[in-house]
Amino acid sequence: MWSSIESLRSLSHSLMWGTVVFAIMAAVSTGVRYYVDRRAGELSSQAQRVDAEQKEQLQREREAALKLQVEAAQREQREASEKLSKIEQNVKGRHLTSEQITTLVAMAKQVCRSLPVVSVTASNSNHEAQVYATEFVKALQAGGCAADLALPIPGLTPDVTGIHIGVRDVQNPAHGALELLKMLNTLGVAFAVTPIKPDFFPEVSFVMVVGAK
């Protein structure tokens, strides 16, 4: 088959070109492989980056939701504490402080000689108001005032709240009412000057009324 020189030369020539073609194909294959590997690496990195970003976003959303829950819980706790504080203040009775008692006694000693009887009254059915009124009476008595707690007939209506200095004439209150007004102002006790009906403690010119809290 390959007995002639020409046939051998033809074979050699074919083999040479085959080697060149295979070399080219190998180079192309290597290049394609390099591109494929690099592209695969890029896609893998991109996928990992997207996955990481999604996890970070999910974590941020969870943290934001948790923060909102914590803030809501803290707000509810504050509201509950405020409500509890208001309830405690409503339940807790009013009292004069030791400093207020000392001040009231000292002031009473200066004016009680010129005062008539200081009438103090409170709601018949309100024990807290009666206790608070009694503290004023005791301090006034300690200062030399003729003071006493007298429950009104008829009794005070439930809508009477706070402390009132009841007078016959708001424009021209009695001397004793003015002195009592000065005492309460000095003590820092809130009150109102209120006209009283003729049949309410008719024997006195003024009266201190302690209503509901």
Q: What's the confidence (pLDDT) of residue 76?
A: 78
Q: CA 72, CA 75: separation in Å to the nearest integer?
A: 5
Q: What is the DSSP string of 22-52?
A: HHHHHHHHHHHHHHHHHHHHHHHHHHHHHHH
Query: Judging by beta carbons within 10 Å of its beta carbon (0-12, 13-18, 19+), is residue 156 exposed, middle or buried?
Result: buried
Q: What's the confidence (pLDDT) of residue 119?
A: 92
Q: CA 39, CA 41: separation in Å to the nearest integer?
A: 5
| pLDDT values of the chain reduced to their tens digit, one per residue, 213 residues | 555 666 656 656 666 666 766 667 766 677 767 776 777 777 777 778 877 888 888 888 888 887 888 888 888 788 776 766 665 555 678 999 999 999 999 999 999 888 878 999 998 888 899 999 999 999 999 999 999 998 876 677 777 889 999 999 999 999 999 999 999 999 999 999 999 988 888 889 999 999 988
Q: What's the confidence (pLDDT) of residue 121?
A: 93
Q: What's the confidence (pLDDT) of residue 26?
A: 67
Structure-token pair, residue 14:
């074919």
Query: Judging by beta carbons within 10 Å of its beta carbon (0-12, 13-18, 19+), is residue 134 exposed, middle or buried?
Result: middle
Q: pTM for this one? A: 0.58
Q: What's the confidence (pLDDT) of residue 89?
A: 56
